[in-house]
Amino acid sequence: MKRIAVFTSGGDAPGMNACIRAVVRTAKYYDLEVFGITRGYDGLINGDIVEMDERSVSNIIQKGGTILKSARSMDFKTKEGRKKAYQNLKKLKIDGLVAIGGNGTFTGAEIFFDEYGIPTVGAPGTIDNDLYGTDFTIGYDTAVNTALDAIDKIRDTADAHDRIFFIEVMGRDTGYIAVRSAISGGAEMAVMPETKTSVKDIITKLRFGSSHSKASHIIIVAEGDEPGRAQIIADKVKKELPNLDTKVTMLGHIQRGGAPTAADRVLASRLGVGAVEGLLKGKANVMAGVINRTLTYTPFHDTITKKKPLNKDLIRLIEILNGRKYATEA
- CATH at 195: 3.40.50.460
Do 147 and 279 lie in one domain? The reply is no
Catalytic residue, chosen from 42, 128, 130, 264, is 128
pTM to 2 decimals?
0.94
Our measurement of the distance from residue 126's CA atom to the centroid of its chain's CA atoms, rounded to an integer in Å, reads: 2
Shared domain for 131 and 56, answered yes or no, is yes
Task: Give the pLDDT of residue 330.
Answer: 43
pLDDT score of 72? 87
Active site residue 128: yes
Structure confidence by residue, pLDDT tens digits, 194-206: 888 888 888 888 8
Whether residues 165 and 128 fall in one domain: no
- SS3 call for 172: coil
In a domain, 122, yes or no: yes
Q: Is residue 88 part of a domain?
A: yes
Nearest to 186 by CA among 216, 160, 225, 211: 216
Q: Is residue 227 part of a domain?
A: yes
If asked whether residues 41 and 18 sit together in one domain, one would say yes
Whether 322 is covered by a domain: the verdict is: no
Contact of 181 with 220, CB cutoff 8 Å: yes
Q: Where a domain ends, among 256, 284, 317?
A: 256
Last residue of one domain, picked from the residues 256, 278, 293: 256
Angle formed at CA 264 by CA 266 and CA 291, multiple of 5 degrees: 75
Number of compact structural domains in the chain: 2
The reply to whether 90 falls in a domain is yes
Does one domain contain both 173 and 92? Answer: no
The Cα 268–Cα 105 span in angstroms is 17
Cβ(61)–Cβ(14) under 8 Å? Answer: no
Same domain? For 22 and 149 the reply is: no
| Shared-domain flag, residues 93 and 234 | no
Query: Is the domain of 267 the same as that of 135?
Result: yes
- Considering the domain architecture, whether residues 183 and 133 belong to the same structural domain is answered as no
CB distance 217 to 158 below 8 Å: yes
CA distance 30 to 18: 18
pLDDT in tens, 142-196: 999 999 999 999 999 999 998 999 999 998 889 999 999 999 999 989 999 888 8
In a domain, 326, yes or no: no
Residues of the chain with pLDDT under 50: 330
Number of other CB atoms surrounding residue 81 within 10 Å? 19
Q: What is the CATH number of the domain that holds 92?
A: 3.40.50.450
The domain of 98 spans 3-139+260-305
Which pLDDT score is estimated for 216?
86
Report yes or no on 316 lying in a domain: no
Tell whether 228 and 271 lie within a shared domain: no
Give start and end residues of each alpha helix (H) in 47-131. Answer: 79-91, 103-116
Residue 9 lies in a domain: yes
User: Cα–Cα distance between 139 and 147 in angstroms, integer?
Assistant: 12
Angstrom distances, CA of residue 297 to CA of 86, 124, 240, 330: 25, 11, 50, 28
Distances (CA, A) of 249 to 9, 42, 150, 152, 225: 28, 34, 10, 13, 17
Q: Which of 228, 256, 284 is the last residue of a domain?
A: 256
Distance CA 273, CA 121 (A): 11
Does residue 42 sit in the same domain as residue 135?
yes
Together in a domain, 117 and 129: yes
pLDDT at 115: 97
